[in-house]
Amino acid sequence: MLIDMPLAELRSYRPEPSEPADFDDFWQRTLADARAQAAPAQFAPYASGLRTVDVFDVTFTGYAGQPVRAWLLLPRHTEGPLPCVVEFIGYQGGRGFPHEYLTWSAAGYANLVMDNRGQGSGGHTHAVTPDPAPAGAPHTPGYLTRGIESPQTSYYRRLFTDAVRAVDTARAHPRIDPERIAVYGGSQGGGIALAAAALGGPVAAALLDVPFLCHFRRAAEITDAGPYSELVTFVRTQRHREQEAFATLDYFDGVNLAARATAPALFSVALMDAVCPPSTVFAAYNRWGGPHKDIRVWKFNGHEQGGAYQTDEQIRFLEKALG
């Protein structure tokens, strides 16, 4: 069933943002630190068994100079700089095997797939990148409240910084055209891509499929579905830390980040999706700062989201945006 406001209300839903005064400072310093500690990325050829794609096992330096793994897939039989899709992965997922990420190289793009540090053990694709930061203060199992005791320690500070650095890594690669980079992801991957588009310097396009990590304060009130439920469980248990938790998340809220984006964007939203409820997605979409934006509304879909139909539209969208 439809689980949120009627579509007409969603289209004009613009809640008052809860934006910390030092939001931009926080991110400027965080990213500057990461870049200051950066080392050149390493690209080790990987024997994937695939014959139309050159695969590289990538190690780049992410948050605080920490090593982060990725796959780089380059379509064979191409020459010169390629446009590139930097891809981010959903909750509890990891980079898995390169053969799990074949869309964008098949479409003719370089494809850099960033691993999710510390994730990838939840029954889906697996990750290999550790999260060297302290596990820290008590938090609810999962990633949403890891390090929630402050913006400095939040897991998403590290993950979003990794994402910006993944874009940096793509930009610096000799086979990639730095002017033609798109960011892409669905659910958590969409939230990360949104952050990368907002924080990582200008990109040429953003493909954001039902982005997670938007409008936390509302999400906690209107859905029982995970992963937002982790946040509810946290403040339900650590009641004296409620203000602290929401104040921390303001630094990572897609609604605040979207306003800083400048790229053309194709969003999607599913009106029966309790995992990424429609109003949380529209709150970010309606505030998106880029000049051209569009959103595909899947009225009867849940968190299976845009799926392959959305991918089909994304392929067409990128053809125009990246050439």
Tell me how far the alpha carbon of residue 251 is from its chain's centroid.
15
CB of 260 to a copy of itself, least distance (A): 28
CA dihedral 51, 57, 63, 66 (to 10 degrees): 180
Site for a copy of itself (CB under 8 A): which residue of 11, 14, 292, 316?
316
CB of 288 to a copy of itself, least distance (A): 24
CA dihedral 237, 239, 27, 189 (to 10 degrees): 30
Asked if 263 and 291 touch (Cβ cutoff 8 Å), the reply is no
Active-site residue, selected from the candidate residues 162, 253, 273, 279:
273
Site for a copy of itself (CB under 8 A): which residue of 15, 20, 108, 201?
108
Does the active-site annotation cover 187? yes
CB of 259 to a copy of itself, least distance (A): 27
Active-site residue, selected from the candidate residues 105, 154, 187, 268:
187
What radius of gyration, in Å, describes the C-alpha atoms of the chain? 18
The secondary structure element, H or E, covering residue 230 is helix 228-237
CB of 89 to a copy of itself, least distance (A): 12
Q: Cβ contacts of residue 36 below 8 Å, gap of 6+?
A: none
167 vs 322, beta carbon nearer a copy of itself: 322
Interface with a copy of itself, residue 202, by CB under 8 A: no
- Per-residue contact track with a copy of itself, 109 to 148, x per CB under 8 A? --------xxxxxxxxxxxxxxxxxxxxxxxxxxx-xx--
Q: Which of residues 32-71 bind a copy of itself (CB under 8 A)?
A: 48-53
Whether 91 has a binding-site annotation, put simply, is: yes
* Rounded distance between C-alpha atoms, residue 132 and residue 154, angstroms: 13
- Per-residue contact track with a copy of itself, 65 to 104, x per CB under 8 A? ----------xxx--------------x-x-xx-xx-xx-
End-to-end CA separation in angstroms for the chain: 39
Interface with a copy of itself, residue 154, by CB under 8 A: no
Q: Cβ contacts of residue 112 below 8 Å, gap of 6+?
A: 58, 70, 71, 72, 84, 85, 86, 87, 166, 169, 170, 173
Interface with a copy of itself, residue 308, by CB under 8 A: yes
179 vs 242, beta carbon nearer a copy of itself: 242
CB of 110 to a copy of itself, least distance (A): 12
Q: Which of residues 243-282 bind a copy of itself (CB under 8 A)?
A: 272
Query: CB neighbours (10 Å) of residue 38?
Result: 17
Under DSSP, is residue 112 helix (H, G, I), strand (E, B) or coil?
A: strand
Q: Which residues carry out catalysis? A: 187, 273, 303
Which residues line the annotated binding site for substrate?
A: 91
